[in-house]
Amino acid sequence: MSIPARQLYIAGKWVAPVHAGRFPVMSPRSESEVGSIPNATAEDVDRAVAAAAAAHADGGWGRSLGRYRAGFLRAIAKKVKDDKTQLAKLETIDCGKPIQEAEWDMDDVAGCFEYYAELAEKLDARQDAPINVGMDDFRCRVRREPLGVVALITPWNYPLLMAAWKVAPALAAGNCVVLKPSEVASVTCLELAAIVHDVGVPAGVFNLITGTGQDAGAPLSAHPGIAKVAFTGSVATGKRVALAAAANVKPATLELGGKSALIVFEDADIANAVEWCMFGAFWTVGQICTATSRLLVHESIATEFYAQLKRRAESIKICDPLIEDCRLGPVVNKSQHDKILQFIQVAQQQGATLLTGGKRPAHLAQGYFVEPTVFVDMKAHMQLWTDEVFGPVLASCTFRTEAEAIEMANSSIYGLAAAVISADEQRCKRVAEAMQSGIVWVNCAQPCFVQAPWGGVKASGHGRELGEWGLESFLSVKQVTTYVSKEKWGWFPSSQSKL
């Protein structure tokens, strides 16, 4: 399947970059070039921001009723559903995600746009909500208004879904957007631009530029015409984005990395806990910011737990991700592949015990594949225990007491997600409340719902996506107060008064 040769999408038109640059799309399953995408620079960023600013100034989108915007969001959702098979294949070719996962992602993309269409309609009823200020002479109301032009910078692990998480609420709130997807995987976001065009979203409301972080992402983050930046990616890049936005006194929502802990207590059903552990660590080849890649197992069940985990990890089908029953595809590119293998090598050098995996699968000489890898006997100082890998590598150790498990889980610079598995409901409640993270899963790992808030604390970032929180993050709240009394308001002395 060939990659469509798209250009940048600015002001409702497909346009070539000012410098006419393009760079190759490399398939992680074949390690070969399968197409190319445009390489935007600062001049293209200026064009995209100007187009969005003009659309915002026109007011046809931002001042429209929510139900008007909802119609376009539903049309986008329908087109995603109609094009699901093609979009999923493009995503698999572009980033290596198993085809079945990619198809499920497309369902979630459509669901995200449908959900925010509903919230856009509900926004109409919430407009001009009265506030009781306790004084009969004054009437106070609150308006929720779009921020203006917002910059959306998205990652490569869920290319179209992460874009939907930002684009859908931003448009629902009435903003005009400039989307900059990761240069590592931009293909389905370019197809989103085609869908936006096909359903007739007004020109300039949605703009898309592709390019590197240095050439396109940095000037977009620092652009004075942007009202807000919403970013998902690494901690290092997130810091630069936040500093660039702060220089213009603009807010930035940051959804950054993680090193999430999964705690398995002695009363857990071992077979069930192993399945959740596998899902939490190896789904999407472990390339998830919330991956529960630190496993804490109670020492009394560790031997049996590790035996079952080893068998199950070694049974995962690793193959061409376009094969329907593939469960583990390649990681996204050579750079990531090399990084993961380096993590594995360092873990062995530091004395961790390799339970299974640790190398390229013997039957796959081509493609950026890594076996599902599990290390045990981890120590707190080891790199694999502290640093985010973003690959199918699980680090584990044992614990004795609940307090010890909580302390170990919280001993991280990250605070995105955590999970606890136990038959004791009260213990699960205690542990969930003690976890220093934005998301806690109880007797499960990795479920995600568009209705629920998503985001972290500490180095994992700040702000929330999804749910009503995702919509609110793209709205400005305005107070409008009216003096309604017929009495003359006096405070300063009249002009006839002697001073």
Tell me 230's DSSP state.
E
Strands 176-181, 461-462: pairing is unpaired
Query: Distances from the Cα of 195 to the Cαs of 27, 76, 474, in angstroms?
Result: 23, 6, 22
CA distance 87 to 7: 17
H-only helix segments in 179-301? 187-198, 218-221, 235-247, 270-282
DSSP-derived 3-state class of residue 251 = coil
| Beta carbons within 8 Å of 118's beta carbon, 6+ residues apart | 70
∠ Cα 329 335 339 (to 5°): 85
In DSSP notation, 426-484 reads: HHHHHHHHH--SSEEEES------TTS-B--EETTEES-BSHHHHHHTTEEEEEEEEE-
- Given a contact cutoff of 8 angstroms between Cβ atoms, the answer to whether 451 and 467 are in contact is yes
CA distance 371 to 354: 12
Annotated catalytic residue 255: yes
- Phi and psi at residue 484, in whole multiples of 5°? -110, -5
Copy the structure tokens of residue 312.
């199950």
Copy the structure tokens of residue 314.
């070694």
Q: What is the CA radius of gyration of the chain?
A: 25
Instruction: Report the candidate in 253, 288, 183 with the shortest Cα–Cα distance to residue 470.
Output: 253
| Beta carbons within 8 Å of 494's beta carbon, 6+ residues apart | none
C-beta atoms surrounding 137 within 10 Å: 12
- Given a contact cutoff of 8 angstroms between Cβ atoms, the answer to whether 7 and 183 are in contact is no
Copy the structure tokens of residue 347.
């873990």
CA distance 267 to 298: 9
CA distance 41 to 166: 22
Copy the structure tokens of residue 242.
């936040």
- Given a contact cutoff of 8 angstroms between Cβ atoms, the answer to whether 159 and 223 are in contact is no
CA distance 495 to 446: 70
The total number of residues written for the chain in this structure:
499
State the catalytic residue, choosing from 114, 121, 255, 371.
255
Q: Which helix (H) or strand (E) holds 228?
A: strand 228-232
- Given a contact cutoff of 8 angstroms between Cβ atoms, the answer to whether 107 and 151 are in contact is no
Residues annotated as part of the active site: 255
